[in-house]
Amino acid sequence: MHAATRGSWLMVLVLALAFVLGLTLTAPVSAQEAEAADDTAAQALLEALDVSSFSAKGEAIEAIVRSDDPRARDWLQALLDGRLQRTDDGRFVVALDNSGRQWPVEDALTGEALGEMSRRDLERIGINNALRNQLRSAIAVVDLYAADVGLRRASAERLLGEVDGDLAGPLAKVIEEEPDARVQERLIQALAIYRLEQGEFAAIDDLRGSLHPRVRVAFNRVLNSDDPALVDGAREALNSIEQMLKVNRAVETLYFGLSLGSVLVLAAIGLAITFGVMGVINMAHGELIMLGAYTTWAMQQLLPGQPGLALILAIPAGFLVAALAGIAIERGVIQFLKGRPLETLLATFGISLILQQLVRTVISPLNRTVITPEWMSGSIAINDALSLTLNRMVVLGFALVVFAALVLIMRRTRLGLEVRAVTQNRAMARSMGIRATRVDILTFALGSGVAGLAGVALSQLTNVGPNLGQNYIIDSFMVVVFGGVGNLWGTLVAGLSLGVINQVLEPWAGAVMAKIIVLVFIILFIQKRPRGLFPQKGRAAEG
């Protein structure tokens, strides 16, 4: 009995070991069989593309999209780019680079690198324009299931105006499951455009208020519909959109006007200081702006590959270069011509020509391009019809910071107190122990340094060249006269105002005529207010 029991236990143990061993041996085989089955199914999907009928290829593309194969997007993109090829032995490959005679390729199923193959040994899977459009839509649908929200947003954007009857059903399901509000909004609009084209009146409510160009295109198409109710609804929605577009255009014009005005403020504020204190008409002020711009370019040459750091370092460097140049001009020429404004004007005009020619000789007569840092590139999209460029926004903020710094200097420092004293009554300031000559030097250096900062800012908006400053010198004088000589707040208001006025006038009057109209306006204005918007105070102003 004991022996029989022991034999039974041995039998159970042998059977258990056999079962475990069987599982161990059969599991890898099952995995290999599953992988082989996947490759067989994938091979069949690709085989369906290698036919002469374009309609059959379209059905094969739909089958790839429905397959949920993780390689589906790569196949579709390769087919769209003309990189999906077939070898003589029937293997499907993807060309990594389809230029030249020898193409590096990889296996379309496994992703294994196969080295280089001659293009003569490969047969491209051909497509037509209809299939290209289908492929773009198919790729967009595949991307809607991507984990990357940026990829899903780009995909939803591409689907606007591209939805058809085959996509409408799956798209409704995607909308319900999509967590990102922006993607969901775009998909709702894409589906609504399709429904609108099918004559559904309810789709108008989903598209009402949208400023996207493709929505307007869809509404314009519906205006030719035979359904009067649908036409009236589309026309009402279009009129509402047009009103919103006018508001957005006005905001965009104001933004560009303020950005232009901020440049004028930077260019004119230094001139306002020197003109107000010393009464000097400095025609070389534009070339000081140019020096600041070239300093920015030079800093980028010293720090290649680091445009952001170069721009930040160019701010103090541009100020110092222009300030030192201003001191040299004041000590070398202007101090000997005080009280003779006409001779000062002619002398500084000659200096401006010398500086321009010096830059042409030493650097180049050709314009130089300053690289915009990545954090100043691009724009902020407010809506589908309005985007604000970052470089102009930074320049506008920079101008306001410089203005605030100058106001603090003038209001809170001893130099500011002395400058205001000399501006109001030079003789009285001298009698109170203020060294007017020292004030003149420091004021001219400060005004010239701010001109250099204007050049740093301008380098981010336009090319840097020897004639850069000449484009702003006349406008700078107009800003100073309009705002009030020597008044910082007047310069700010006048600069921003003239920038907006120019931007409003240019679209219908042209750039040249707009400047003429502004000049005539200023001439008429100073007939009524000779001292500008914010006149100087003090005995010198009264005299």
11, pLDDT greater than 70: no
59 domain-assigned = no
CB 384 within 8 A of CB 189: no
390 domain-assigned = yes
25, pLDDT greater than 50: no
378 domain-assigned = no
Output the 3-class SS for 135-199. Answer: HHHHHHHHHCCCCCHHHHHHHHHHCCCCCCHHHHHHHHHHHHHCCCHHHHHHHHHHHHHHHHHCC
299, pLDDT greater than 90: yes
231 domain-assigned = no
Q: How does residue 37 score in pLDDT terms, banded at 50, 70 and 90?
A: low
Q: What is the mean pLDDT of the chain?
A: 83
CB 285 within 8 A of CB 520: no
Write out the residue range of the structural domain in which residue 437 sits: 253-370+386-542
102 domain-assigned = no
Give residue 519's identity as a one-letter amino acid code: L
- How confident is the model at residue 85, as a pLDDT? 87
- How confident is the model at residue 240, as a pLDDT? 92
- How confident is the model at residue 309, as a pLDDT? 93
475 domain-assigned = yes
CB atoms within 10 A of CB 7: 10
- How confident is the model at residue 414, as a pLDDT? 87
- How confident is the model at residue 301, as a pLDDT? 92
- How confident is the model at residue 360, as a pLDDT? 92
Stretch 354-378: mean pLDDT, rounded? 89
Q: How does residue 66 score in pLDDT terms, banded at 50, 70 and 90?
A: confident
Stretch 315-320: mean pLDDT, rounded? 94
Q: How does residue 34 score in pLDDT terms, banded at 50, 70 and 90?
A: very low
13 domain-assigned = no
Q: Which of 309, 460, 467 is nearest to 399 (CA)?
A: 460
CB atoms within 10 A of CB 365: 12
- How confident is the model at residue 353, as a pLDDT? 92
Domain count, the chain: 1
- How confident is the model at residue 316, as a pLDDT? 94
pLDDT digits (tens, 9 = 90+) for 382-426: 888 888 999 999 999 999 999 999 889 888 888 878 877 777 777
4 domain-assigned = no
Q: Which of 161, 156, 194 is nearest to 178 (CA)?
A: 156
- How confident is the model at residue 134, as a pLDDT? 79
313, pLDDT greater than 90: yes
CATH number at residue 400: 1.10.3470
Stretch 150-160: mean pLDDT, rounded? 85
